[in-house]
C-alpha cells in the first residue's frame, strides 16, 4: 500500500461510523494515561479536533508533555490506526465556535462555545501506523 492509500484508509476509518476512540497522554511521572473520547473533527493534514473539559486532567498533562496518541479501530477490530503526534489546547474562539457548530453534542456538556470550561484539543499527527489484518499482521507506517 502506498502512503497515500494508507492515509485514505485511515481517513475513512476516522470519519466513518466510528465515534469512540482512545486518547493517550503522558502524566508527570512519564506514565501513559489512556481515556475514551467521543466526537471529533478531522481537518487538513490529519489535524484532529476534540472537545474536552478545560479543567480535565488530560489538559494539564498535555501542558506538561504535548506528546500524545490516538487509537481507532473498525467495529470488528480488523483495522486499527494509531496516530502519534502532539496535542495542545485551542484558544481561538472562532475555531471553538466552528467545532461547536459541527458537533451538536457539545451542548450536552457545555452551555456554549465561550463557556470557560469548554476546551478544544488540537492533535497534530506526525506518524500513522495502520494495521489491516486482511493485509497481514505487521502495521504499515507513514509519516505525515
pLDDT tens, position by position, 57-100: 999 999 999 999 999 999 999 999 999 999 999 999 999 999 99
Cell of 64: 506538561
Calculate the alpha carbon distances from 128 to 36, 68, 83, 92, 118 in Å.
19, 12, 5, 27, 28
Residue 123: CB atoms within 10 A of its CB come to 25
Neighbouring residues of 143: CB distance < 8 A, sequence distance ≥ 6 = 126, 127, 128
At residue 124 the predicted structure's pLDDT band, cuts being 50, 70 and 90, is very high
pLDDT at position 40, please? Answer: 87
pTM, to two decimals: 0.93
Q: Is it the case that residue 18 has pLDDT exceeding 70?
A: no
List the domains of the chain with CATH numbers.
3-143 (2.30.110.10)
* Tens digit of each residue's pLDDT (9 = 90 or more) over 20-52: 899 999 999 999 999 999 888 999 899 999 999
Neighbouring residues of 87: CB distance < 8 A, sequence distance ≥ 6 = 23, 25, 62, 66, 68, 121, 122, 123, 124
pLDDT at position 49, please? Answer: 96
Q: What mean pLDDT comes out for the span 115-141?
A: 95
pLDDT at position 88, please? Answer: 97
pLDDT at position 44, please? Answer: 87
Amino acid at each position: 500500500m502506498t502512503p497515500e492509500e494508507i492515509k485514505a484508509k485511515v481517513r475513512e476509518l476516522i470519519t466513518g461510523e466510528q465515534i469512540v476512540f482512545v486518547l493517550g497522554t503522558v502524566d508527570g511521572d512519564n506514565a501513559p494515561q489512556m481515556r475514551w473520547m467521543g466526537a471529533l473533527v478531522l481537518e487538513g493534514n490529519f489535524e484532529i479536533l476534540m472537545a474536552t473539559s478545560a479543567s480535565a486532567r488530560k489538559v494539564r498533562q498535555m501542558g506538561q508533555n504535548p506528546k500524545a496518541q490516538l487509537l481507532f479501530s473498525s467495529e470488528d477490530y480488523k483495522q486499527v490506526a494509531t496516530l502519534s503526534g502532539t496535542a495542545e489546547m485551542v484558544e481561538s474562539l472562532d475555531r471553538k465556535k466552528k467545532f461547536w457548530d459541527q458537533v451538536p453534542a457539545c451542548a450536552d456538556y457545555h452551555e456554549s462555545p465561550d463557556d470557560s470550561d469548554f476546551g478544544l484539543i488540537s492533535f497534530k499527527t506526525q506518524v500513522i501506523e495502520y494495521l489491516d489484518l486482511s493485509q497481514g499482521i505487521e502495521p504499515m507506517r507513514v509519516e505525515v
